[in-house]
């Protein structure tokens, strides 16, 4: 039966976009009505060309791939062995592409630390000479199926988590989280930071890898779903997820062929690191979004990332282009001894969590996080509710008890962002603007609007040329 | 600067709670720094690094709370310390409740609404296509009230809708009745076997209310928007509507009404209508092409309604006609209408030649940035007052439209305007002829409105056609019979 016939047969249910008069007239006739709080779009034109069947179909495929991803942590391996396109002279970094000259303090610190760790330099001056000589290639983690929090510095000998998306077969990678305080990802490069990375390389990485393999992998889709119901949003709050991860791996770590003191040290490190899961979750999000990227005509955002100077987004149907704008200053709370003047602009690939429906988008299930900006649990729910305005789907795996187990808002649509002017809500840590200091606080941040405006223009242009070009086969 | 510190044993707090409290305590005058952390090794290290944990402080464990304040004086520091304790123990009752948020876009409103099947869109024309496309993307039919939508957008919307089996009623669609529910400016009419498809909002209202007066009933009335039968659109919505009503078991006859249209489009519509094998009544203004067998044509809306009711019921109630002897109101007719199609029909019946004048107050030039006269008759009423000064005018011809979205009392709103217009006549006659488009089931009540008009000395007519002919007879100095 055609849909016209259904209209004439079924009871009416209406969305009303316009005067209250029309809504109340329908209500008076017993029709269920959903009103729209309509306001003129915050963009001049071009929107209607992007609401078409081609874009609908592309977004459906994109969304299905994001929501359908089944991520499993399958291994921990040296980056050089698994990360595509990595060489000994490459330093991967967070965010969109950037040259050394424009890098912020923590980004430079992270890179210098990575070069020292790899034995390519001994001091800051050494490293700077090496970098300016052109011997080192910089490239975004995102270009190598990898994501890194904060500076995101990733090099050949670092052990990386290997996450497989069983649905699409692709893999994504991320380093092991170092914990809080003075750590490489915040641009710290002191000897104790380097020592910890070497311990990761020699002991923790191989131990985790063996434990993961013996455990037959860790189902991250299920684990994240569980953690979300335990109060995590898996960006600024990873307590439950980290505990669940340790729970899964501890029996295998306990059985490793390793000195008892080392096994204890590995477990103690894992247990003391509340953000142990952050990098695991990020790789899981990356694995889902990489599988979804590259569908022509898709208007869904497949990456949001910051390098401490620029904020960049990528869009499913716009290939490997980045659409960038200036990284913003987070708003939040500072650790003792630090204040707003110490913070670096927004940095890190961790906004991949929001891109996949976690982080700020799942704040309604993690009300503790909203206190960074003095909010209440009601505010936390409101942050999440607002994100449904700019997303096309709802997660089947991540459900929020406080919203009657509604799935988290997932699949940021550039069209809806530019129409409503509502920007994605990102939870974030804050790095000190000077290299070597570390984390100074945590809070909330938004992308600069211009990223979405630029992506929108590109989408409209792409649509226009698709419309005028000869019909594709 | 003084440093004051305290340890609270076995009082675990979430670190975010602690940062929030520290931030609040930092705001006190004279306070330089406040640190509130749990006594875990990283916490203690952080305090030591910030120079806020003296060596003489006792050992502390991960479940001990460490509070440290640096301030200008010891008294200030102690106050800050106390405020931290207070903040930590304060009730965290929600301070405000956020009202339920309405979705901001059609796309968001349509998502996950299983029982939703239509979007009523009435936003400024430049933005309407976006919302309508969003509705189509969500699989919703569209009732598009907005005007000012470009022809290109209309065609794109309707083609896309047709391919998806969805109806776009509009743009500039004033009314529809789907399954007994009125959308936009609709009247409450009896349900019955007559299906209506129309490019004209007030045309549909006149037809459906006349069918009701005549004892018939309406299955559905599908509005198409005024341009649907123009060549560029090609009758996309009309053809979908004809097919849908043709297949609808509750519809036994089709009534098609249209403004002047492209001949080839009208042909196509009539052909499609003939193929439904149901009785068809067509009231196509300005159409002089051939009519397929089974299609009855009607010259007026009234004739169309009567023909349709007769076709399904065999008989029809008669419409009453007013009677009045010839009056001294011979002269020019001033037709002030809220409905464009009613204006057009009256003009055709009276003849367009001066001195008669016919104005559509629902036309775009009157409604840009203002409410439609069906909702707010004040613009027309002001023109009625001004007509009192026009010595040439002897007959006022009006339509009053009732229904769910219409003015709550259009006859009452007319009273002061008519009184003022008559006062300005300085003794010369002014005949007022009006037709009320409505039913006894409309919120305003047809009888109440007609009675109110009669009290104002208005000659009330049962159809637009009768009203036009009555006005003409008066203007020509003839008896009204």
pLDDT above 70: percentage of residues in chain B: 96
Q: End of a domain among B73, B89, B105?
A: B89
B296 shares its domain with B404:
no
Q: What is the mean pLDDT of residues B140-157?
A: 95
**Does residue B99 belong to the interface with chain A, where contact is any CB pair within 8 Å?**
no
Give the confidence band of B13 by pLDDT, cuts at 50, 70, 90: confident
Q: What pLDDT, on a 0 to 100 scale, did the predictor assign at position B426?
A: 81
Q: What beta strand segments (E) does B56-185 contain?
A: 65-71, 118-121, 141-144, 168-169, 175-178, 181-184
User: Could you read off the pLDDT of A293-343 as tens digits, one per residue?
Assistant: 999 999 999 999 999 999 999 999 999 999 999 999 999 999 989 999 999
Span A33-61, average pLDDT: 91
Q: Would you call B314 helix, strand, or coil by DSSP?
A: coil
Judge contact between B342 and B200, C-beta under 8 A: no
Flag whether B109 is in a domain. Answer: no
- Token duo for residue B262: 């492209």
In which domain, by residue range, is B71 found? 2-89
The partner residue sitting opposite A13, judged by closest CB among B68, B103, B116, is B116
B94-103 as b/e: b if 16+ CB within 10 A: eeeeeeeeeb
What integer is the mean pLDDT of A195-219?
98
Lowest-pLDDT range, A265-274, B364-373, B376-385? B364-373
CB within 8 Å of chain A, chain B residues 365-404:
375, 404
Q: Which two tokens stand for residue A459?
A: 């989408």
pLDDT at B149 over 80: yes
pLDDT at A470 over 70: no
Interatomic CA distance for residues A149 and A349, integer angstroms: 5
* Residue ranges of chain A that CATH labels 3.90.1710.10: 67-283
| Test mutation, A336, A418, A419, A432, chain B, max B CBs within 10 A | A336
Please count the residue pairs, one from chain A and one from chain B, whose beta carbons lie less than 8 angstroms apart.
234
Question: Given this model, what pLDDT does residue A387 score?
Answer: 97
Identify the pLDDT of residue A202. 98
- Whether B177 has a pLDDT exceeding 50, the answer reads yes
Check if B164 contacts A (Cβ < 8 Å). Answer: yes
Residue A422, by phi and psi: left (phi above 0), alpha (psi -120 to 50) or beta? beta
Q: Is the pLDDT higher at B211 or at B287?
A: B211
Q: Do B139 and A3 touch (CB under 8 A)?
A: yes
pLDDT band at A242 (very low <50, low <70, confident <90, very high): very high
Tell me: do B189 and B291 sit in the same domain: yes
Regarding whether B288 and B353 lie in a shared domain, the answer is no
User: Which of B61, B89, B117 is at the close of a domain?
Assistant: B89
Same domain, B302 and B346: no
pLDDT number for residue A468: 61
Contact residues, chain B, for A369 at CB < 8 Å: 16
> Do residues B415 and B351 share a domain?
yes
Compute the Cα dihedral for A467, A468, A469, A471 and give only its sign: positive
CA angle, B248 then B251 then B256, to 5°: 105
In this complex, is the C-beta atom of B113 within 8 Å of any C-beta atom belonging to chain A?
yes
Under 8 Å CB-to-CB from A119, ≥6 apart: which residues? none
Nearest residue, CB atoms, B105 vs list A3, A5, A419: A419
Q: Is the pLDDT of residue B274 over 80?
A: yes
Of B22, B115, B163, the CB nearest to A336: B22
Distance CA A108, CA A102 (A): 10
What was the pLDDT predicted at B90? 65
Paired residues of B121 in beta bridges: A17, B144
Q: Which B positions 321-360 lie with beta carbon below 8 A of chain A? A: none
Question: What is the C-alpha separation between B433 and B327, in angstroms, rounded?
Answer: 13
Higher pLDDT, B353 or B118: B118
Spatial distance between the Cα atoms of B376 and A462, rounded to a whole number of angstroms: 45
Q: Does domain A60-65+293-468 have CATH number 3.90.1700.10?
A: yes
pLDDT bucket at B368, cuts 50 / 70 / 90 = confident
Given an 8 Å threshold on Cβ–Cβ distance, is B166 in contact with A31? no
- Quick one: closest CA in B to A380, which residue? B98
Tell me if A14 and B116 make a contact (CB, 8 A cut-off): yes
Considering only CB atoms, which chain A residues are within 8 Å of B94? 376-378
Contact A12 B181 (CB under 8 A): yes
One domain for residues B207 and B340: no
CA pair distance B197, B240, nearest whole angstrom: 10
Q: Are residues B252 and B357 in the same domain?
A: no
> Which pLDDT score is estimated for B25?
87
How far is B106 from B121, CA to CA, in rounded Å? Answer: 9
Within chain A, all domains assigned CATH 3.90.1700.10 are found at: 60-65+293-468
pLDDT exceeds cutoff 80 at A58: yes
- Whole-number pLDDT of residue B133: 97
Comparing A450-459, B9-18, B421-430, the range with the smallest average pLDDT is B9-18
Q: What is the CATH number of the domain that holds B234?
A: 3.40.50.261
Q: Residue A336: list chain B partners with CB under 8 A.
A: 22, 33-35, 37, 46-47, 50, 52, 68
Q: Which pLDDT band holds residue A224 (cuts at 50, 70, 90)?
A: very high
Q: Is the pLDDT of residue A451 over 90?
A: yes
Which of B76-85, B126-135, B418-427 is predicted most confidently?
B126-135
Residues of A within 8 A of B182 (CB-CB) are 25, 29
- DSSP summary character for residue B209: H
Per-residue three-class SS string for chain A: CCHHHHHHHCCCCEEEECCHHHHHHHHHCCCCEEECCCCCCCCCCCCHHHCCHHHHHHHHHHHHHHHCCCEEEEEEEEHHHHCCCCCCCEEEECCCCCCHHHCCHHHHHHHHHHHHHCCCCCCHHHHHHHHHCCCCEEEEHHHHCECCCCCCCECCCCEEEEEEECCCCCEEEEECCCCCCCCHHHCCCCHHHHHHHHHHHHHHHHHHHHHHHHCCCEEHHHHHHHHHCCCCCCCCCCHHHHHHHHHHHHHHHHCCCCCHHHHHHHHHHHHHCCCHHHHHHHHHHHHHHHHHCCCCCCCEEEEEEEECCEEEEEECCCCCCCEEEECCCCEEEECCCCCHHHECCCEEHHHHHHHCCCHHHHHHHCHHHHHHHCCCHHHHHHHHHHHHCCEEEEEEEEEEHHHCCEEEEEEEEHHHHHHHCCCCCEEEEEEECCCCCCEEEEEEECCCHHHHHHHHHHHHHHHHHHHHCCCCC
Are residues B265 and B374 both part of a single domain? no
Residue B101 reports pLDDT greater than 80: no
Report whether B370 contacts B379 (CB < 8 A).
Answer: yes
| Residue B247, in any domain of the structure | yes
pLDDT at B94: 34
Would you put residue A136 in left (φ > 0), alpha (ψ -120 to 50) or beta?
Answer: beta
Mean of per-residue pLDDT scores for chain A: 94
Cβ <8 Å between B16 and A39:
no
Does the domain formed by A67-283 have CATH 3.40.50.720? Answer: no
- What integer is the mean pLDDT of B219-242? 96
CA distance A38 to chain B (A): 5
Cβ atoms A264, A376 nearer than 8 A? no
C-alpha atoms less than 13 angstroms from C-alpha of B14 in its C-beta half-sphere: 16
Are B309 and B336 within one domain? no
- B274 and B192 part of one domain: yes
Task: Tell me the chain B residues in contact with residue A376 when contact means C-beta distances shorter than 8 Å.
Answer: 92, 94-96
> Is residue A210 over pLDDT 80?
yes
B166 contact residues in A (CB cutoff 8 A): 3-4
User: Does one domain contain both B294 and B187?
Assistant: yes
Q: Please return the burial class of B479, using the count of CB atoms within 10 Å of its CB with bins 0-12, 13-18 and 19+.
A: exposed
Query: What is the number of domains present in chain B?
Result: 3
Q: Tell me the mean pLDDT in the region A45-60.
A: 95
Position B125 in a domain = no
Beta bridge partners of residue A469, listed in sequence order = none
Over chain B, what is the mean pLDDT? 90
The CA distance from B331 to B397, in Å, is: 13
Six-digit token pair at A58? 């592309």
Predicted local distance difference test score (pLDDT) of residue A368: 87
* pLDDT confidence band for B92 (50 / 70 / 90): very low
pLDDT classification of B40: cutoffs 50, 70, 90: confident
Cα distance between residue B301 and residue B307, in whole Å: 10
Q: For residue B335, give the H/E element and its range.
A: strand B332-337
Residues B281 and B223 in one domain: yes
Cβ distance B248 to B222 under 8 Å? no
């Amino acid at each position: 039966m055609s849909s016209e016939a259904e209209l004439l047969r079924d009871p009416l249910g209406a969305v009303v976009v316009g005067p209250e008069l029309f809504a109340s007239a329908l209500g008076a006739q017993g029709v269920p009505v959903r009103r729209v709080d309509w306001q003129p779009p915050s963009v001049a034109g071009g929107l209607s060309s992007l609401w078409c069947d081609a874009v609908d179909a592309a977004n459906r495929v994109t969304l299905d791939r994001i929501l359908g991803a089944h991520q499993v942590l399958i291994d921990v391996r040296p980056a050089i062995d698994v990360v595509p396109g990595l060489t000994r002279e490459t330093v991967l970094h967070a965010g969109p592409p950037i040259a050394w000259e424009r890098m912020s303090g923590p980004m430079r610190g992270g890179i210098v630390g990575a070069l020292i760790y790899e034995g390519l330099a001994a001091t800051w001056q050494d490293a700077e000479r090496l970098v300016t000589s052109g011997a080192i290639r910089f490239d975004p983690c995102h270009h190598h199926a990898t994501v890194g929090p904060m500076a995101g510095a990733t090099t050949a000998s670092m052990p990386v988590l290997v996450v497989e998306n069983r649905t699409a077969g692709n893999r994504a990678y991320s380093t092991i989280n170092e914990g809080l305080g003075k750590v490489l990802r915040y641009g710290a490069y002191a000897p104790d930071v380097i020592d910890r990375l070497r311990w990761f390389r020699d002991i923790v990485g191989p131990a985790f890898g063996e434990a993961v393999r013996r455990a037959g992998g860790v189902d991250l889709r299920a684990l994240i779903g569980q953690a979300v119901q335990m109060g995590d949003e898996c960006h600024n709050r990873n307590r439950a997820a980290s505990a669940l991860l340790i729970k899964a791996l501890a029996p295998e770590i306990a059985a490793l062929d390793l000195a008892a003191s080392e096994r204890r040290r590995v477990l103690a490190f894992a247990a003391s690191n509340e953000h142990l899961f952050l990098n695991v979750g990020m790789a899981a999000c990356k694995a889902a979004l990489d599988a979804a990227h590259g569908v022509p005509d898709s208007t869904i955002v497949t990456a949001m990332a910051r390098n401490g100077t620029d904020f960049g987004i990528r869009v499913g149907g716009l290939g490997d282009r980045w659409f960038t704008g200036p990284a913003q200053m987070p708003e939040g709370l500072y650790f003792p001894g630090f204040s707003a003047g110490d913070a670096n602009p927004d940095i890190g690939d961790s906004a991949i969590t929001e891109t996949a429906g976690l982080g700020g988008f799942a704040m309604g299930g993690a009300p503790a996080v909203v206190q960074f900006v003095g909010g209440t649990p009601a505010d936390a729910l409101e942050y999440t509710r607002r994100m449904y305005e700019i997303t096309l789907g709802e997660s089947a795996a991540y459900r929020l008890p406080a919203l009657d187990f509604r799935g988290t808002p997932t699949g940021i649509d550039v069209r809806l962002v530019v129409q409503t002017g509502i920007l994605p809500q990102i939870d974030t840590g804050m790095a000190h603007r000077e290299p070597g200091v570390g984390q100074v606080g945590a809070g909330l941040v938004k992308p600069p609007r211009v990223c979405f405006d630029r992506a929108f223009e590109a989408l409209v242009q792409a649509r226009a040329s698709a419309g005028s070009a000869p019909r594709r086969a | 600067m003084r440093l004051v510190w305290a340890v609270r044993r076995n009082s675990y707090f979430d670190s975010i709670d602690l940062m929030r409290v520290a931030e609040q305590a930092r705001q006190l005058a004279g306070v330089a720094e406040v640190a509130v952390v749990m006594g875990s090794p990283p916490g203690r290290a952080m305090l030591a690094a910030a120079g806020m944990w003296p060596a003489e402080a006792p050992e502390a464990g991960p479940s001990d709370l460490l509070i440290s304040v640096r301030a200008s004086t010891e008294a200030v520091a102690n106050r800050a310390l106390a405020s931290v304790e207070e903040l930590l123990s304060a009730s965290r009752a929600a301070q405000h409740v956020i009202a339920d948020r309405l979705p901001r876009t059609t796309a968001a409103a349509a998502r996950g609404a299983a029982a939703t099947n239509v979007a009523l869109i009435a936003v400024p024309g430049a933005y309407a296509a976006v919302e309508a496309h969003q509705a189509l993307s969500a699989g919703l039919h569209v009732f598009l009230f907005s005007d000012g939508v470009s022809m290109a957008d209309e065609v794109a919307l309707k083609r896309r809708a047709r391919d998806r089996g969805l109806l776009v009623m509009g743009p500039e669609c004033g009314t529809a009745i789907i399954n007994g529910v009125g959308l936009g400016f609709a009247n409450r009419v009896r349900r019955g076997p007559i299906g209506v498809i129309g490019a004209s909002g007030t045309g549909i209202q006149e037809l459906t209310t006349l069918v009701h007066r005549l004892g018939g009933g309406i299955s559905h009335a599908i509005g198409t928007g005024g341009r649907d039968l123009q060549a560029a659109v090609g009758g996309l919505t009309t053809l979908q509507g004809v097919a849908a009503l043709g297949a609808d078991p509750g519809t036994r006859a089709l009534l098609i009404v249209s403004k002047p249209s492209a001949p080839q489009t009208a042909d196509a519509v009539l052909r499609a209508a003939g193929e439904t094998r149901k009785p068809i009544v067509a009231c196509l203004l300005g159409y002089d092409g051939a009519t397929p067998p089974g299609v009855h044509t009607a010259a007026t809306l009234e004739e169309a309604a009567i023909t349709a009711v007769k076709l399904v019921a065999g008989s029809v109630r008669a419409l009453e006609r007013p009677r009045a002897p010839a009056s001294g109101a011979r002269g020019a007719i001033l037709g002030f209408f809220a409905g464009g199609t009613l204006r057009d029909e009256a003009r055709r019946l009276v003849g367009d030649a001066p001195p008669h004048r016919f104005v559509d107050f629902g036309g775009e030039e009157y409604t840009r940035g203002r409410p439609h006269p069906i909702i707010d008759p004040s613009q027309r009423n002001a023109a009625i007052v001004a007509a009192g000064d026009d010595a040439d005018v002897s007959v006022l011809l009006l339509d009053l439209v009732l229904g769910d979205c219409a003015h709550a009392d259009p006859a009452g709103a007319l009273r002061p305007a008519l009184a003022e217009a008559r006062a300005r006549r300085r003794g010369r006659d002014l005949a007022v002829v009006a037709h009320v488009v409505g039913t006894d089931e409309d919120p305003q009540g047809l009888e109440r409105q007609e009675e109110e008009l009669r009290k104002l000395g208005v000659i009330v007519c049962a159809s637009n056609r009768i009203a036009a002919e009555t006005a003409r007879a008066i203007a020509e100095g003839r008896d009204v019979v």
